Structure 1
Amino acid sequence: MKKILVTIDGPAGAGKTTVSRAVALELGYTYVDTGALYRGLAVIVNQKGVDPNDDEALAAVCKELELSLIPEEDKTRVIANGEDITDKLRTPEISMTASAVSARPLVREWLLGIQREFGEKGGAVFEGRDMGTVVFPNAEAKFFLHADPNIRARRRHQELLEKGLAVTEEDVAKDMEKRDKDDSSRAVAPLKPAEDAILVDSSQLNIEEAVWVILDWVKKKLK
């Protein structure tokens, strides 16, 4: 059976990571968390004290940075210049920095080649914000996973609590609202569904139901 490219875009807290990983597992595909690449860069940017709006400084960081992803069953490990930085990726601070650096054209151009290299052979599920619109505009199956903002904030808050981070749901909601606005209004590769993407509202769906909806569409494509 042929192997295709599947893209799953959407905002934070919609369930993209869990759903994308489960879809890839069911299909026997490689799962690629492209957001982890931006977060990996954000970690290094913060460590070096670089202004995420300073293109010259960002270019210097990118030039010296070697990022790689190691997919595992329950997570994607991110290696930056030989160091495993996976446990540093999911803080609110890194989320905001990742949103800022992802708005810079030079950063998106730098990561574009890396992402497309991962997808050359097909048989992969790519999770992100512009996978179906910019990175893989010709992907055979595109999805945009979204949910009510209050539900997304609740989900992300619970996720952060489980990681031992002391944050309030109100603060999570405010950060998420700002990131949604920044990601959707940026000039380069804004967060939006591809014209041919299937919209999946996960507000009232559990993980298994959202996965089933996507798999049903993918299997139709494979036929």
Structure 2
Amino acid sequence: MKKMIVAIDGHSSTGKSTFAKAIAKAMDYTYLDSGALYRAVTLFALEHGLINSDGHPQTQDLTKRLPEICLSFHRDAATGEKHTFLNGKDVEKKIRSLEVSASVSPVSEIPEVRNFIDKQLKEWGKEKAIVMDGRDIGTAVFPQAEVKIFMTAPAEIRAQRRLAELQAKGLSGTFEEILENIRQRDHTDSSRAKHPLKKAPDALLLDNGNMTVEDQMDWFRKIMKETWDITLK
């Protein structure tokens, strides 16, 4: 099978990571969660007092401290899942909190932060055979990706999914809080000056509001067969 880059972009809480993991498993590719890296930088900012009371970062101070940040992924021995590490510590659970969610969009707007993470992602993507999800993977990080998908779903459905995810991880949050956070992130992601969230012209649109993960995989298998003559398990 030809080595490819599969780039998945879309709105928050559309199930990008779940879908990307399923694709990576079917193709025997490596999955990279770019959003987790932005969340890890946001967590670093929170832990070092670099987020103001309004949820916005102290841009200059955070930018100066980016060289202190080391990001990596490591497989959890018990579950087999890849966990996000910040400066050698497993922060997979911490980065999914509502506190991080509330500040990750303004942190990701900082050009120096985006450049810092983009450099890391591009290095990891040199060998191809990866599935990566985020907000600007197909438009800015890997515009040359062979397969591009843009995911969306109604905000209310996304809020329900996010609530279930938080509850499964033992984290707190209400439907109303999550819905408001999603709407704010949609606005921020779509209106930022550099690399705003948008569908690449050659990306395939997937509205998965009424689809299960298996429905989405059936759709993807059909695309791969029709476009690349690749049969996936």
TM-score (norm 2): 0.91
Q: Distance in 1 between matches of 2:82 and 2:41?
A: 15
Residue 89 of structure 1: CA displacement? Answer: 1.0
SS at structure 2 position matched to 1:154 = helix
1:36 aligns with 2:36: yes
Residue 211 of structure 1: CA displacement? Answer: 1.8
Runs of 5+ consecutive residues of structure 1 not aligned to the other structure: none
Alignment size in residue pairs: 223
Greater CA deviation, 13-22 or 49-58?
49-58
1:130 alignment counterpart: 136
Say which of 109, 119, 126 aligns to 1:120: 126
TM-score (norm 1): 0.95
**Runs of 4+ in structure 1 over 2 Å off:** 51-55, 70-76, 218-223
Deviations 1:146-191, CA, capped at 9 Å, x for gaps: 1111111111111111122232111110111111111111111111
Alignment of 1:1-223 (within 5 A): 1-51=1-51, 52-71=56-75, 75-223=81-229
Check the 8 A contact 1:7/1:126 in 2, yes or no. Answer: yes
Paired-residue identity, %: 38
Runs of 5+ consecutive residues of structure 2 not aligned to the other structure: none
Greater CA deviation, 113-122 or 207-216?
207-216
Cα distance change on mapping 1:200 and 1:71 into 2, 3 Å? farther
Check the 8 A contact 1:33/1:76 in 2, yes or no. Answer: no
Cα distance change on mapping 1:61 and 1:184 into 2, 3 Å? same
Greater CA deviation, 100-109 or 76-85?
76-85
Residue 207 of structure 1: CA displacement? Answer: 0.7
Q: Distance in 2 between matches of 1:179 and 1:120?
A: 30
Q: Distance in 2 between matches of 1:131 and 1:157?
A: 25
Q: Distance in 1 between matches of 2:80 and 2:133?
A: 15
SS at structure 2 position matched to 1:70 = strand
